[in-house]
Amino acid sequence: MYQPADRSRQPLRARWNPTDADNGRPRSPQRDAKKQSAIGRFVSTYGWRAYALPVLLAVTVLVIADAVRTGPVTTQLEPTFGAHSPEVAKTGIIGAPPGDGKFPADLPLGALPEGGEFVERAAGTWHVVPGTTPQVGQGAERVFRYTVEVEDGIDTSPFGGDVAVATMVDTTLANPKSWTHDAKFAFQRVDAGVPDFRISLTSRDSTRASCGFEIPIDSSCYNASLGRVVLSEVRWVRGALAFDGDIGSYRQYLINHEVGHAIGYHGHQPCETDGGLAPIMMQQTFGTKNNDIAVLDPHGVVPADGKTCRFNPWPYPRG
């Protein structure tokens, strides 16, 4: 006798498309869905982003707090160098120490750092260091020819000899961060004939005679009457307390600053941007703080406005 198949043990069959309309077959009753909290819905909707957002928010708060604590970021502008005179000075001392002769008894920044020996008094005559260079810079308006000279009686062997002094001068002026960055200028070293100026390493007494000594601080200058860029050997050896850099950087500053006077930048400058780089025509031997220089020359171009700059040996420090 035929018996119908027992389907109670057959596997359940699922519809291929659960969204199809009900075909009339009985369906098991649905369980009551649990209600989801607002946080649960947020996590379900945004997934991993739900965990990242609080972290990003916390980081943002920390950055804002740090910015408020440290103050705004200052955009560092290229320092300037004042007005340029197309007619270079023919007479007088350019860059002489400022002031009216009334100074505090204690000038700590003017004191010499500890260091090597220097010459108090030499012969008062100079010898040309042999050697020439090709022209460096475009020289659209002016090509300056210079000699490198050392005062007789100065022993340059402790800092490399005469050739090392000349090499420092040549490489400084040839650097793209120096005056040749400006297409108007070019330089060429010569060792014969009449140069435009003589870059001269000079003893303490001869420097004071050439540059003046109104302020009892060793300094350098450009003496246009002599056609001589006077580089103080005292400073070449020791540097300056106010210049918070190495001795090589200070020598580059010394060359660029005094040659700046020789090519027509006759004036000095104050610190322009608090915390920024000092202009090359700032008297960084005397200080990189406007207040310090203002003490030396209360009626000069540097205001006592509290601005402080960082040392800088270059006219165009970003080259």
Return the domain boundaries, the chain: 93-268
State how far the Cα of 212 lies from the Cα of 128, in Å rounded to an integer. 24
Write down the pLDDT at residue 302: 92
To the nearest whole percent, how much of the chain has pLDDT over 90? 56
- Residue 298, pLDDT score: 80
* Range of lowest pLDDT (71-80, 86-95, 142-151, 184-193): 71-80
Looking at residues 92-111, what average pLDDT do you find?
64
Quick check: 21 pLDDT over 60? no
Backbone angles phi, psi at 190, to 5 degrees: -130, 165
Whole-angstrom Cα distance, residue 286 to residue 216?
11
pLDDT digits (tens, 9 = 90+) for 133-146: 999 999 999 999 99
What integer is the mean pLDDT of 119-126? 97
With tokens 């601005």, the residue in question is: 307
CB 214 within 8 A of CB 85: no
**pLDDT of 68:** 44
- 3-class secondary structure, 189: strand
Record the tokens describing residue 151, joined without a space. 């005062």
DSSP H/E element including 171: helix 162-174
pLDDT value, residue 89:
84
Structure-model confidence comparison of residues 124 and 2, the more confident one? 124
In whole angstroms, give the CA distance from residue 84 to residue 263: 8
| Range with the poorest average pLDDT among 20-24, 69-73, 119-123, 188-192 | 69-73
**pLDDT at residue 111 tops 60:** yes
Q: How far is CA 136 from CA 129, 209, 302, in A?
A: 19, 32, 33
Alpha carbon dihedral 94, 95, 99, 100, in 10-degree steps, equals -20
Instruction: Give pLDDT tens digits for 49-67.
Output: 555 556 555 545 554 554 4
- Look at residue 223 and give its three-state secondary structure: strand
What is the DSSP-derived secondary structure letter of residue 243?
Answer: S
User: What is the per-residue pLDDT for 95?
Assistant: 79
Instruction: Provide the 3-class DSSP secondary structure of residue 136.
Output: strand
For residue 259, give both structure tokens.
């040659």
Record the tokens describing residue 268, joined without a space: 């000095």
Residues 6+ apart with CB under 8 A from 245: 253, 311, 313
Q: Which residue has the higher pLDDT, 232 or 41?
A: 232
Q: Residue 180: what are its φ and ψ, rounded to 5°?
A: -70, -10
Per-residue pLDDT reduced to its tens digit, 174-225:
999 999 999 999 999 999 999 999 999 999 999 999 998 877 789 999 999 9
More confident residue, 34 or 240: 240
CA–CA separation, 213 and 98 (whole Å): 9
**Considering the domain 93-268, what is its CATH architecture?**
3-Layer(aba) Sandwich (3.40)
pLDDT score of 236: 97
More confident residue, 293 or 155: 155
Please tell me the least confidently modeled range out of 39-48, 147-156, 211-220: 39-48
CB atoms within 10 A of CB 181: 16
